[in-house]
Amino acid sequence: MNNNLVLFESKQVRRHYDAKKEVWFFSVVDIVQALTDSVNPTDYLKKLRKRDVELGAYLGTNCPQVEMVTHEGKKRKTLGGSVEHILRLIQSIPSPKAEPFKQWLAKVGYERMQEIANPEQSLDRARENWQKLGRSEKWIQQRMTGQETRNKLTDYWKQNGVEKNNDFALLTNIIHQEWTELTIKKHKDLKGLKSQNLRDHMSEAELIFTALAELSTRQIAETEEAKGLQKNAIACKKGGAVAKNARKELESKTGKNVVTGENFLPPKKENKELK
């Protein structure tokens, strides 16, 4: 879990900190989903803005389009609201979660100032959020270690001619497809995921092999002094192949697949027929 994701009752809410304005902007669509449990929060928001004309005008006038990372790892602009804007939105959404959400919003809206003074607090919060989701300490440690490995790789890309956000997604998919023999999308489909972050639903083994693939990619790229998209793509295939070979070796010894459809999704609620 990174610093731009926070949890409200196990629901992920994206946010972006505007350093110039010193304001957190939260994804309005994510807020709607957290409050309503809607399967299509974007459509819910559109209908809400049409029904409540004053709210629609307020959001359109005051809420900027803010670049945030999608659950698929791509950066896209989405409607962002400050604490003030979100409180206005809550007034128009009939939800029993409104009051606890206000309290939650006040809490997370203040976190940035604390994290600037003590960066370790963001790591502590990530660990706490994963604990609330029921992850084991081993899983949490591996997830955090894998994120550090990922950050070092993306730092290398940024410093060596990979600039576009779409290129980051492209290179990541090359690595993933090479070691798993599945695209990221197909891996998510296998796990039954939609908007969820794939890494948050990986097993400990999947996290380890993902980290191995990305670590190998960075070290190969550094050794070959890869610059630009094309040469880094070659390094990605080589790095992914290192992890693929290790995966196949482990699978041959254990008889178990490393890449599986297992996930951490909550069990589906059975629909009860109305009598």
Residue 71 has pLDDT above 80, yes or no: no
- Which residue reads 């009051």 in tokens? 99
Look at residue 201 and give its three-state secondary structure.
Answer: helix
Arithmetic mean of pLDDT, 213-236: 97
Q: How confident is the model at residue 210 (pLDDT cuts 50, 70, 90)?
A: very high
pLDDT at 113: 47
* Contact in structure between 175 and 240 (CB atoms under 8 Å): yes
Decide if pLDDT at 271 tops 60. Answer: no
Give me the chain's average pLDDT, please: 85
Three-class SS of residue 14?
Answer: strand
Q: Which of 89-98, 198-207, 219-228 has the lowest mean pLDDT?
A: 89-98
Q: pLDDT-derived band of residue 111, with 50, 70 and 90 as boundaries?
A: low
Is the confidence at residue 181, as pLDDT, over 80?
Answer: yes
pLDDT exceeds 80 at position 118 = no
């969820």: which residue's tokens? Answer: 196
- pLDDT at position 158, please? 92
User: H/E element holding 17?
Assistant: strand 11-18
pTM for the whole structure: 0.59
Write down the pLDDT at residue 133.
78
Angle between helices 28-36 and 41-51 (to 10 degrees): 100
pLDDT tens profile 124-174: 667 777 887 788 999 999 998 998 999 999 999 999 999 876 899 999 999
- pLDDT for 74 equals 75
pLDDT at residue 183, rounded to an integer: 95
Residue with the bigger pLDDT between 19 and 249: it is: 249
Reply yes or no on whether the pLDDT at 261 is more than 90: yes
Task: Round to whole Å and give the CA distance between 134 and 137.
Answer: 9
Looking at per-residue confidence, does 210 or 119 come out higher? 210
The whole-angstrom separation of Cα 222 and Cα 105 is: 43
Contact 221, 156 (CB under 8 A): yes
202-225 mean pLDDT: 97
d(CA 171, CA 136): 30
pLDDT at 94: 82
| φ/ψ (deg, to 5) at 78 | -145, 160
Longest dimension (CA), the chain: 69
Question: Mean pLDDT over residues 4-10, rounded?
Answer: 73
